[in-house]
Chains A and B, each alone.
Chain A
Amino acid sequence: MDELDHGWGYKIFKLLSDNIEKVIKGQKECIRYILAGFAGGGHILLEDNPGTGKTTLAKALAKSIDADFKRIQFTPDLLPSDILGVSIFDPSQRIFKLHKGPVFTNILLADEINRASPRTQSALLEAMAESQVSIDTKILNLENLFFVIATQNPVESRGTYPLPEAQMDRFAMQLQPGYVTREEEVAVLSEQRQKHPIKTIKPCVSLEDFLKLQHMVSQVFISKELQGYIVDIVNATREKPGVILGASPRASIALMKTASALALFDNLDFVTPDHIQEIAVSVIAHRLMLDPQSKFSGRSARIVVEDIIKSIQVPV
């Protein structure tokens, strides 16, 4: 990859990021991470309170890329066929005709994923992992660019089916956008007096360009030393006392890919240890299962990962 190439990748990121920021205020970091996950080919789980702009964020992203966007509101009575699609008999032609579900899209927003029954959840999660779905006997490939943003609401627990930790592993990272600062919220108010800025947003990157960006991420160089560093961090989660289930090799891969994407966004064609440290908590924490005692003593998985990073010597 020559000099021009990763400059181009940086340019694409900048365009996207600026475009989304027109709609979402004060979430620069979150946008960077979402794009990193997206460019790295992973899916993202947003866990935050209602009304913090999760859906808007996903919409803005979809609109910016000139890509197909669908949204599923998860409810307890949602069935797998509501997501994947269903074959219906066409009496005029006397054949079964497949009606593709919302999963056949580029960007899928799975709102409140923890409200659906486990059966429906796993239908989606399988589609995410395999990039293909099987309806009846046919196996259908999903779009080349397939990206899921799932949201989860942490405050309500009634009538929810929390995603098991093993399923959480399917998501490349879990993000918590959080509330914005006072000034930023004031800016949001004044902007939305007439109409929602999402209406004005225009696509700035073509689908082809984004696929190229994804390809470029895989071309970013990561040294053996840093690969070792990633594995050290992920390995440490498996041996840390108080953790029942550590992170999988899938976590190592996700960490490498997202760190590579971050490097590209920083206009570099190689990963530095800073990129790994920057994203490690978001990539690893949601995959860990803590033992009840640690949970009770107030240790969260994020703190555990932070501790692990602090206990490992970083290559410099």
Chain B
Amino acid sequence: MKTPRFFLSAAVLFWGWQVNLLLISICIAILLESADIINSKFDLKPSDFNKFIDISTVLLAGTIVIALTIEAQEAIFILLKWIPPVFLPIIAAQSFSTRGKIDIQSFFLVTRKKKRRENYYSKAIDFSYIYSLFCILSAGTANSKDHLYYICIAIFFIWALWQVRSKQVSFFLWLFCIFVTIITGYAGHEGIRMASMKINQLVMEYYDNYYNLNPFKTFTAMGDIIDLKLSDKIIFRASFEDYTPKKTYLLHNASYNRFAVSNWFVTSKYEAIEPARDNTSWQINPSGKNTKKMTAYFRLIKNRAVLSLPSGVVSIAQMKTGSCKKNTMQSVRIEDGPSLIKSVVSYTDKLSFDAQPYDHDLLIPKKELTAITKIARELAIADQSDTEILKIVKDYFLNNFTYSLDLKGKGRDKTPLSNFLNNTKAGHCEFFATATVLLLRQADIPARYVTGYIAHEYSRIEDKLIIRQKDAHAWVKVFINGQWQNFDTTPPSFLITDSQQIKSSLIKDLLSFVGFKLSQLRHETGAKLMEKYGFWLTLPLGLILFFRLRNSNKIKRIRMPANTERHRNQKNNDLSFFAIENVLSKKGFPRREYETYFAWLKRIEHHFNNKQIKTALQTLLQLHNKRQFSKSGLSRNEQKILHSDIRDMIHNQLR
């Protein structure tokens, strides 16, 4: 079945318009339309079609290679976007061929091998509708979220269906059905969209409650970090310009300022950061002096991540991601991007960009108040200067507490924290940090609870600092002398304890390293190479194509006789049964090619209400058959009767 006139080029132009390749699409459209205008065609045999299909296959393979290497995440979209040019050779070959159809066998290598038989035309298909569908599908990759796309698609479908609508159904009924379909379709897709949003929201809520690793949650429970501490999985790698052996770095993920029921909360809103023109540089804060650089590689979890950053981040460069947001607590999170993300961070190492302290930074929950005031009184920190207080607190924890990864619960005390302070005097970083924050707040020093990672392990094979899950850490930000600064009261021996308790395995590390290198090759080195030399990868494909096409025979060019079908009908118009066939088929009763007139009339005769017409048609058919198939043909008299009866039938009875 052939597409209506201009349908194909309209679909191509629609594609070009949607994906911003209008110029290419105009060229394609002109090419395809010219096939209808130019009279001469090519006599393509099935083997010739094979070659055109081969060209498209190679183009497709080439597009896949390029799409995968340039932008693995977007590969499918790039591929879809370029579908129409990829299949252009096939549709062009069909349009310019005398046959106008493609043998379905040609599309598959397996079926091509079979012995070719001449009588296979029944299996030939017209590629034009399929191609139009490709164009429309491809246009969808532009993903313009407005209603225009839907409207255009509806128009295309109406256009295509108009051609094949049953003429037995009245025009208005047809239009009504189409209209209903469009409305239902729209409502359906709108409904699905809303349902998906709702489900998404529900799932996220559920997720927030039960899944600790969600990077975007705005609270942290005491004990979250110890869960992380039990794994030695390498989660990111970083290198610092000022690294000297044994140096450690605190990499901040998020700060919290409200503590309640063993949970830390933050209420700061995230705001989006616009990328620089190259789409990979992000200005996080106004520029600062004496910046240092850190280069980090990490992976996204569920396509998102909270960045682990040193203090005072000014900007992040070379980071390919969809969106980047930060809050006033200097927590930065990103969404979308390749599976391995690189970031080059410039930072000042000063906490000068954090939000100024406010009342939340001094709150102490009532439940913890007794334990905290008791210790504050013991330490007599009320009248000291801020710096003195820090020193006292630090010494207090260092001398009286031990680091332990065993969770002790709340014991006989009201809360786990008071149990830690009063009884066990042993715990891990979360307890130290929380206790310190509250203790400092008791002395009227604003303090915040910080979670993040401590980078301390240098890997010689990788020449980078590797940060494992067990390096998750909590510490304190404290506001003194008009400045925020990091303050860590966890006994420094904790790193040693950690590495003794959670052994890392060399094999696992090596595997992780190999995986990392492969990802790096794919996302960093590969992308760069592809940009420069990617084109050459298509060379072998081109060679294959060349060899496949080399032995092609010369294709004959044939001048098409003016449309034969129309010719025949015109010649016989008004003279014979062909005219009646024309009239009836326009009314929605087309004859099938294999049907004789007799069988055809028999099939459709129940549609005629008038019995007279039935018998009249039968008589006419007998005359027609006599004229066509008998030896003598019609006598002059019979001829006259046939002509006048047919005229009468067409102009009066069949109206």
Least CB distance from A108 to B in Å reads: 35
B563 at the interface (CB under 8 A from A): no
Contacts of B629 in A (CB 8 A): 221-223, 225-226, 270-273
- B residues 579-626 touching A (CB-CB < 8 Å): 592-599, 625-626
- A residues 299-316 touching B (CB-CB < 8 Å): 309-316
Closest-by-CB residue of B relative to A312 is B594
- B residues 110-130 touching A (CB-CB < 8 Å): 117-119, 122
Interface-central residue, A225, A239, A271, A316, by most chain B CB under 10 Å: A316
B564 at the interface (CB under 8 A from A): no
Give the docked Cα–Cα distance between A262 and B625 (Å): 15
| Interchain CB contact (< 8 A) of A313 among B118, B119, B577, B594 | B594
A70 at the interface (CB under 8 A from B): no
Least CB distance from B486 to A in Å reads: 77
Q: Does B631 contact A239, Cβ atoms closer than 8 Å?
A: no
A111 at the interface (CB under 8 A from B): no
Contacts of B122 in A (CB 8 A): 311
B551 at the interface (CB under 8 A from A): no
| Interchain CB contact (< 8 A) of B593 among A225, A240, A241, A313 | A313
Closest-by-CB residue of A relative to B591 is A316
Contacts A269-B630, A270-B629, A311-B122; A316 near B596 (Cβ below 8 A): yes
Least CB distance from A131 to B in Å reads: 29
Give the docked Cα–Cα distance between A271 and B625 (Å): 9
Contacts of A208 in B (CB 8 A): none
Contacts of B628 in A (CB 8 A): 223, 225, 315-316
Give the docked Cα–Cα distance between A312 and B119 (Å): 10
Q: Does A272 contact B594, Cβ atoms closer than 8 Å?
A: no
Q: Does B119 contact A314, Cβ atoms closer than 8 Å?
A: no
Closest-by-CB residue of B relative to A1 is B631
Interface size of B in residues (CB-CB distance below 8 Å): 19
Interface 1/0 per residue, B431-471 and A, CB below 8 Å: 00000000000000000000000000000000000000000
Interface-central residue, A221, A226, A274, A312, by most chain B CB under 10 Å: A274
Contacts of A311 in B (CB 8 A): 122, 594
Interface 1/0 per residue, A255-297 and B, CB below 8 Å: 0000000000000111111100100000000000000000000
Least CB distance from A21 to B in Å reads: 23
Contacts A274-B598, A311-B122; A241 near B117 (Cβ below 8 A): yes
Contacts A272-B598, A314-B593, A314-B594; A236 near B119 (Cβ below 8 A): yes
Contacts of A314 in B (CB 8 A): 593-596
Give the docked Cα–Cα distance between A274 and B597 (Å): 8
Contacts of B593 in A (CB 8 A): 313-314
A-B contact count (CB 8 A): 55
Give the docked Cα–Cα distance between A312 and B122 (Å): 9
Q: Does A221 contact B630, Cβ atoms closer than 8 Å?
A: yes
Give the docked Cα–Cα distance between A225 and B599 (Å): 19
Interface size of A in residues (CB-CB distance below 8 Å): 26
Closest-by-CB residue of B relative to A226 is B629
Closest-by-CB residue of A relative to B122 is A311
Q: Does A270 contact B594, Cβ atoms closer than 8 Å?
A: no
Least CB distance from B280 to A in Å reads: 58
Contacts of A235 in B (CB 8 A): 119
Contacts of A312 in B (CB 8 A): 594
Give the docked Cα–Cα distance between A205 and B371 (Å): 128
Q: Does A273 contact B596, Cβ atoms closer than 8 Å?
A: yes
Contacts of A313 in B (CB 8 A): 593-594
Least CB distance from B557 to A in Å reads: 27
Interface 1/0 per residue, A91-131 and B, CB below 8 Å: 00000000000000000000000000000000000000000
Q: Does A277 contact B631, Cβ atoms closer than 8 Å?
A: no
Q: Does A274 contact B594, Cβ atoms closer than 8 Å?
A: no
Closest-by-CB residue of B relative to A270 is B630
Q: Does B626 contact A277, Cβ atoms closer than 8 Å?
A: no
Give the docked Cα–Cα distance between A311 and B122 (Å): 7
Interface 1/0 per residue, A202-225 and B, CB below 8 Å: 000000000000000000011101
Contacts of A240 in B (CB 8 A): 119
Contacts A221-B631, A271-B629; A316 near B597 (Cβ below 8 A): yes
Closest-by-CB residue of A relative to B625 is A272
Give the docked Cα–Cα distance between A312 and B598 (Å): 16
Contacts A221-B631, A223-B628, A226-B629; A274 near B119 (Cβ below 8 A): no
Give the docked Cα–Cα distance between A261 and B122 (Å): 32
Closest-by-CB residue of A relative to B592 is A310
Closest-by-CB residue of B relative to A219 is B631
- A residues 118-158 touching B (CB-CB < 8 Å): none
Give the docked Cα–Cα distance between A277 and B577 (Å): 20
Give the docked Cα–Cα distance between A270 and B631 (Å): 7
Q: Does B119 contact A272, Cβ atoms closer than 8 Å?
A: no
Contacts of A221 in B (CB 8 A): 629-631
Contacts of A272 in B (CB 8 A): 596, 598, 625, 629
Contacts of A316 in B (CB 8 A): 577, 596-597, 628
Interface 1/0 per residue, B31-74 and A, CB below 8 Å: 00000000000000000000000000000000000000000000
Give the docked Cα–Cα distance between A316 and B581 (Å): 11
| Interchain CB contact (< 8 A) of A270 among B117, B599, B626 | B626
Contacts of A309 in B (CB 8 A): 594
Provide a sorted-by-A list of 28 A–B residue pairs whose CB atoms are within 8 angstroms. Answer: A221-B629, A221-B631, A223-B629, A225-B628, A226-B629, A236-B119, A239-B117, A240-B119, A241-B117, A268-B625, A269-B630, A269-B631, A270-B626, A270-B629, A270-B630, A271-B629, A272-B596, A272-B598, A272-B625, A272-B629, A273-B629, A277-B596, A309-B594, A310-B592, A311-B122, A312-B594, A313-B594, A314-B594
Closest 3 CB pairs of A and B: A270-B630, A221-B631, A239-B119
- Measured CB to CB, the residues of B under 8 A from A are 117-119, 122, 577, 592-599, 625-626, 628-631
Known: A239-B118, A268-B625, A271-B629. 16 other contacts (CB 8 A): A225-B629, A235-B119, A236-B119, A239-B119, A240-B119, A269-B630, A269-B631, A270-B625, A270-B626, A272-B625, A273-B596, A274-B599, A277-B596, A311-B122, A314-B594, A314-B595
- Measured CB to CB, the residues of A under 8 A from B are 221-223, 225-226, 235-236, 239-241, 268-274, 277, 309-316
